[in-house]
Amino acid sequence: MSHQSLTNDSSRCLERAYAKVNLGLKVLSPRQDGFHDLLSIFQAVSLYDTVSVTPAQDISLACSDNSLPTGPSNLAWRAADIYRRETGTRGCRIELTKQIPAGAGLGGGSADAAAVLRGLDRLASRPLGLDQLAELGARIGSDVPFSVLGGTRHGGTMMVEGRGERLSRQLWAVPPKWWYVLVCPPDPVSTDWAFAELSRTRQIQSLSDLTPYATLIGSARGGYLDADKLWSVLENDFQPLVEDTKPIVARASQLLADTAPLAQSMSGSGSTVYGIYDDRSAARRAESVLCDAEYPVFVCTPVESMDP
């Protein structure tokens, strides 16, 4: 433990907690710890929660979404507790202003936790730095390490492997100039349920059983991504399962397909499905179609690099 202090109680740090979209997701071989190895491209997008962190004697949390827990089961609360135990600092008051839907596969809880870690580190007398924060984040959840780094100087596009702790920055061969239309059916999906159902219904692929998606992004590890090639092989192992189980997700996916996106897929274990467009007007037309069908919709752009 590195004993240090936070700044005085009048200080407050504001952080943006960016949502992520999975540009493909492969569930690979089982691990000895009972989890599975993953292979995915994570992209930070411009939908975000706002996280306020203020030094305090104890940890407390307030949230604009009354349906979410505000105690130790909330990942943001856990992040504050882990940082306190790691550094010997006091607690903090956390205020979450939510925009990212919960249970949507967009990593909102992980993004909030990462924002708390970054905020506390900005207030610390001896900051740990982003790399160590990402290591702490791995103790909280699989998406947290990316959320610590995504949208910072490390860039907003990363290949994610293992349980989410192995990250490599990716660059686009052509700077991204597209729009994501995120469609969030109001039927949250439990990640634990999705993994259990996937394990029950099919044989998990081994790392040696590579698909065109896995082969393509594996060849681009740490280098450049060709968007046109990636769009043509996008796949998410959870999507058939979720669409079979939740017709509301399958209908959203079909409505998106009817708008002729460059590509479409599902983020995480759902329930968000998305379309990718290279024209803002086309994205807005798709938004209108899905809004008319009474789906919650967000139009976003990639977040590539911002100051931490």
Q: Which residues are catalytic?
A: 20, 143
Q: Are 102 and 72 in contact (CB under 8 A)?
A: no
Task: Compute the residue count for the chain.
Answer: 308
Q: Judge residue 247's burial from the number of C-beta atoms within 10 Å of its C-beta, 0-12 exposed, 13-18 middle, 19 or more buried.
A: exposed
Report residue 308 as tokens.
């931490």
Query: In sequence order, which residues have a C-beta less than 8 Å from that of residue 101 and are 6 or more positions away?
Result: 108, 184, 188, 272, 296
- Classified as helix, coil or strand, 139 is coil
Q: Are 146 and 113 in contact (CB under 8 A)?
A: no
Report residue 277 as tokens.
């467009």
- Alpha carbon of residue 182 to chain centroid: 13
Side chain identity at residue 303, one-letter code: V
Report residue 59 as tokens.
């940890």
76 vs 94: CA distance, rounded Å: 8
178 vs 208: CA distance, rounded Å: 33
Q: 195-202 long-range contacts, Cβ below 8 Å, gap at least 24?
A: 195/27, 195/36, 195/269, 197/241, 197/245, 198/27, 198/237, 198/238, 198/241, 201/241
22 vs 263: CA distance, rounded Å: 13
What is the torsion angle, in degrees rounded to the nearest 10, for the CA atoms of residue 206, residue 209, residue 212 and residue 217?
A: 50
